[in-house]
Structure 1
Amino acid sequence: MKNATLSALGQSLAQRLPYEFWIGWRYTRAKRNNHFISFISLTSMVGIALGVMALIVVLSVMNGFQDELRKRILGVASHIEVRGFEPSLADWQHLQQQIQSIPPKAVASPIEGVAPYIMAQGMLTHDQAVQGVLIRGVLPAQESTVSELSTQMKLGQLNDLKAGQFNIVLGSDLAMALGVRVGEKVVLMAPQGQVTPAGLVPRIKQFTVSGIFQVGMYEYDAGLALIHMEDAAKLYRLGEQVSGLRLKLADLFMADRVSQSLVEALGPNFYITDWTQQHANFFKAIQLEKRVMFIILALIVAVAAFNIVSTLVMAVTDKRADIAILRTMGATPQSIRKMFVVQGAMIGIIGTVSGALLGVLLALNIETVVPWIEHTFNVQFLSKDVYYISDLPSKLMWSDVAAIVGLSILLSLVATLYPSARAASMNPAEALRYE
């Protein structure tokens, strides 16, 4: 019963599809006396599959890098910064209330958090180690509303920063470079000096390490230190002033539109920047690299696809007797053309689908495969001392997969145009003359 049903379905399908399809499909899977044609056909399939797989994996890794870089940068940096045109910002409490009172409908994305900060440079010393750092003075309770540092603490807590206690939180690589642990003392030197009879002397203050954070981005882990904002104001003699306000948005991709809304709401007396301006070079570089890699790897697919031309040209020569017989039986040139288009399309589709499946499988497991390769062969592809991200992330986007598959199949179809036209123009009498 089951075999009868399958046979009926097969007959129904055969009746619906044109005979050109079945002949082209038979040419694709039939065993040929000329093994060289089969070899070139197999090479074309493998080349297309490898090209498609490489394109999917590389674009997924580039997407992963872009997403991971954005997440790590914006986990420490701010979506939007509001500063005055002077080095410091006075009456920041009123400005903070003014920003928080802006109705969500007035901006493109709701403002989830607003926090003041003091940003300055300094130099940390411990024993014989010296490191230049970027000092950020924060209010721990408000800082957690604009950054993810409170969740990135490796030792201690961000709330351990208390006003007047002169505690400091260091990045993990910075703490390692200084050779300090939680509870030990470091000396912070501010470049703004004091004028004494002996000359200009930098301001020096001893801090206690109360915590260590690890963002996973070397730039911050090795060069950022956090102290309480009141301690920073005392050390750098800012009084009640701050460097600016940091904002966090519900949708970070609306930062540029929210910046424009803030300019209209706050007036021209403030300097407002967003993350797309501050870190534009990173993301533009990744986007450019992604486009270049797409073009380069697409050439691999194009070369493999145009191997179909040589395959079909030899197939046309090999099947000239069959073509002549089909023509004498009433097949039109258009039908002959369709047969070889089907044959070439099948080579491209089989290679494309195989490469897409392998590429998707590898892209979804790249974070497992790469560590296994590094462990097995004792190598490290991305050193954290050199690269911003030491892991190899991957983010598969189905729109990229669809574009790659579409491009590969299109190139395969283009490669069939000349051989199929040559087969359609063949004269049956000439083809049978020497048979």
Structure 2
Amino acid sequence: MKNLSLHIAFRYFISKKSTQAVSIIMYTSLIAIAIATCAMFVILSVFSGLEHFNIKFFSDVNPSLKISPASGKTLNNIEKLNKILSTNPKVKSFTKVIEEKVYVHYNNKDEIAYLKGVDENFLNVIKLDTCFQAGKFPSSASDNEAAFGNALAYRLGLPINDQETASLYMPKPGKGLLKNTDEAFETTQVHMTGVFALNDQYENYIFVPLQVSQKLLNLSNNSAFSIEIKAQDKDISLLQEQLKKDLGSDYIILNRQEQDASFLKMMKIEQLFIYLIFILVIIIASFNLAGAIIIIILDKKNQSRSLISMGYTIQKLKNMFFVTGLIIAVFGVLIGIILGTLLTWVQSHFHLVMANAYMPFPIHFEFYNYVVVLGTTIVISTLVSYLSSRRLNFN
């Protein structure tokens, strides 16, 4: 008698004697749960893939650590920073950086871009030279070379040669009325040495030698807005804490993830909203399960009366139909998980769905996603099965 409820519930699930309508409703609810589970698992795996892709991207284009001033734009005590970083064995290399918006003009075309001035150590910190579609990174000794993001170069129509130059304009600081536009801007001419492609975030960037950005901003030769550091991978967190202690509160020191914290936070929020939407989808799919349980109760009413006459209690009958609902839900969830795993495996190996012409949608298997999907669907299905089985009434 101990496992009688489970035995009868399983018989109801596989029974071929049920009416066709009951079977259709029961298997429709199973399929609905399977599809919702599969979709939820696939979408969460895509978000995991996007997260891993972006973290990998940040590791390629973001420095291990970035030092910037806690107030103002320009770093103070550059000599002190150079000495501390040069003598630290955890620091592989570091580069001084100046980054600011700039106005670009070429051949009657105008654009707003991000100008990033870097010194001769930059390529030791960030391997940007591996991202070039054509040409090369500008020489650190040059005063008129620049590398352009692919989208910016395309919009300007700027060729790679030393004959055609683009004009860079930087607003001058200060107050008061201006007699002419020449007084409003610092300007310089640069020719494009190469075109690089990273992602949308960097398509409007221009990389120039540090002295070019210093000239445009009227800064001294020893000035910088930030210092980017390449550290030993295993020592990044230790180095960050050590530098915070050595440099004090006058500087902000960020690791790779912290440098793009707002973007990663936005992705987490998007993932949360998608998860909440799929909870709603699973709840809607579970309405089919509730309907199936109620129909099974009505279909098995005569058998239920026979069980009661044999001493079976109403509570045990309710538990039996509750278990029937759980069996339907569990089979639906397992089928959905298996199908979702198969679809994600196919996408990860054969790249059937493309994000653009060159890159497939990234996808990543995570144990956490299995736990979230199984936990969510089982909890909702259990609640729906319990509430539906309480509808049993012979009065």
Asked if TM exceeds 0.5, the reply is yes
Match of 1:266 in 2: 247
Match of 1:207 in 2: 190
Residue by residue, what CA displacement relative to the aligned partner does 1:111-156 show, whole Å, maximum 9, x if unpaired? 554221122332333322222222212234x223432412212223
Match of 1:12 in 2: none
2:338 maps to a residue whose letter is L
The structure 1 residue matched to 2:108, chosen from 123, 128, 136, is: 128
Separation in structure 1 between the aligned mates of residue 125 and residue 46 of structure 2, nearest angstrom: 28
Tell me the CA shift for residue 213 of structure 1: 0.8
2:159 maps to a residue whose letter is R
Contact 1:92–1:116 under 8 Å retained in 2? no
Residue by residue, what CA displacement relative to the aligned partner does 1:14-40 show, whole Å, maximum 9, x if unpaired? x9x934333221110112442222222
Pairing of 1:255-294 with structure 2 (within 5 A): 259=240, 261-274=242-255, 278-294=259-275
The change in CA–CA distance for 1:25 and 1:86 in structure 2 (over 3 A counts) is closer
Show structure 1 runs of 4+ deviating over 6 A. 194-198, 252-255
Separation in structure 1 between the aligned mates of residue 148 and residue 234 of structure 2, nearest angstrom: 27
2:128 maps to a residue whose letter is L
The change in CA–CA distance for 1:250 and 1:62 in structure 2 (over 3 A counts) is farther
2:251 maps to a residue whose letter is F
Contact 2:6–2:320 under 8 Å retained in 1? yes
Q: Does 2:53 match 1:68?
A: yes
Residue by residue, what CA displacement relative to the aligned partner does 1:189-222 show, whole Å, maximum 9, x if unpaired? 232559999761634333232111100x22311x
> 2:102 is paired with a residue of what secondary structure?
strand
2:168 maps to a residue whose letter is M
Tell me the CA shift for residue 41 of structure 1: 1.0
Separation in structure 2 between the aligned mates of residue 194 and residue 333 of structure 1, nearest angstrom: 84
Match of 1:245 in 2: 227
TM, length-normalised to structure 2: 0.83
The structure 1 residue matched to 2:277, chosen from 296, 313, 329, is: 296
Residue by residue, what CA displacement relative to the aligned partner does 1:280-329 show, whole Å, maximum 9, x if unpaired? 33222221121121111112212222432222222122222323333444
Match of 1:147 in 2: 126
The structure 2 residue matched to 1:41, chosen from 19, 23, 26, is: 26
The structure 2 residue matched to 1:182, chosen from 144, 160, 164, is: 160
Match of 2:366 in 1: 397
The change in CA–CA distance for 1:416 and 1:181 in structure 2 (over 3 A counts) is same
Please, which moves more after superposition, 30-39 or 89-98?
89-98
Please, which moves more after superposition, 204-213 or 233-242?
233-242
Contact 2:95–2:229 under 8 Å retained in 1? yes
Contact 1:130–1:178 under 8 Å retained in 2? yes
Q: Give ranges in structure 1 of 5+ residues lacking alignment.
A: 1-14, 105-110, 372-380, 384-388, 431-435
Contact 2:55–2:257 under 8 Å retained in 1? no
Please, which moves more after superposition, 183-192 or 290-299?
183-192
Contact 1:183–1:208 under 8 Å retained in 2? yes
1:405 maps to a residue whose letter is L
Contact 1:309–1:416 under 8 Å retained in 2? yes
Separation in structure 2 between the aligned mates of residue 194 and residue 69 of structure 1, nearest angstrom: 36
Q: Does 2:321 match 1:318?
A: no
Q: Does 2:67 match 1:89?
A: no
Q: Does 2:395 match 1:416?
A: no
Separation in structure 2 between the aligned mates of residue 355 and residue 253 of structure 1, nearest angstrom: 42
Separation in structure 1 between the aligned mates of residue 22 and residue 101 of structure 2, nearest angstrom: 69
| Equivalent residue pairs, number | 386
RMSD (Å), alpha carbons = 3.5
